[in-house]
Structure 1
Amino acid sequence: MPETMRKYETTFVLNPDQSEEARERTLERVKEVIESSDAEIEEIDEWGEKRLAYEIDNQRTGYYVVIEFEGSPEVTDALKREFGLIGDVMRHLVVRRDK
């Protein structure tokens, strides 16, 4: 399994109208998906509320979160599926980090 472990980064933008508790629940849900896929979280960076480059769902700002993790390629599919189910995620991106 270690040879299939790769470094990834996911960035997602949450609806800024979410309460702090709801934001924490969403972050915990994303962390659970990563960890349940036998991936290891290296760093979580909450950028906070930032202005969007363009309006999304009548919102001009969004709450940005970046998570760096190491895991198998299957974790990316699980994350993308989960992001589609979380209503307060306005946008998301999962990328493989170069060495």
Structure 2
Amino acid sequence: MPLYEHVFLARQDLAQAQVDALAENATKIVEDNGGKVVRTEAWGLRNLAYRIAKNRKAHYVALDFDAPPPVVAELERQTQINEDVIRYMTIRVDEHETGPSAMMRRGDRDKRGRDDDRGDRGDREDRPRRSRDDFDA
């Protein structure tokens, strides 16, 4: 069966429980039509690049699944009908990512801080501290 990734954006005024219910509904649609959901990730409430239907933020949810093509058509039809979903996209992929997605890894990097990525220069302690008296006026 072909492999797919489906991402949808839900309105910003929904509670997390309602967003989880939308993800469960999408999972149910895939599984009822003979597909299998491999992974579901909620990326949380994130800023949008531009306003969509008066929303500046949206809840992002991603599903990785394998299913026959008619399942994708039914999932997109049901998603399009739902008023709580403001955007969605389904793409076919060659293989699913193993481990956390790039969006989830990005959150881990932000929590660690910028200094962890750059590392230590190593020359800070070797350099003597200078005072005003060291400079000629």
Once residues 64 and 7 of structure 1 are traced to their aligned partners in structure 2, the CA distance between those partners, rounded to angstroms, is: 20
**Which of 57, 64, 67 is matched with 2:63 structurally?**
67
Residue deviations 1:36-93 (CA, integer Å, cap 9, x gap): 1111111111100111111001111100001000010111101110011211000000
| Structure of higher CA gyration radius | 2
- Overall identity of the aligned pairs, in %: 27
**Which of 14, 21, 42 is matched with 2:17 structurally?**
21
Confirm or deny that 1:48 pairs with 2:44.
yes
Structure 2 unaligned segments of length 5 or more: list them: 96-137
Greater strand content: 1
Greater RCO (Cα-Cα under 8 Å, separation 6 or more): 1
Give the alignment's TM-score, normalised by structure 1: 0.90
Name the aligned partner's letter for residue 31 of structure 1: T
The CA RMSD measured in Å over matched residues stands at 1.0
Number of the residue aligned with 1:87: 83
4+ long deviations beyond 3 Å: none
Once residues 21 and 12 of structure 1 are traced to their aligned partners in structure 2, the CA distance between those partners, rounded to angstroms, is: 16
Give the drift of 1:21: 2.6
Structure 1 unaligned segments of length 5 or more: list them: none
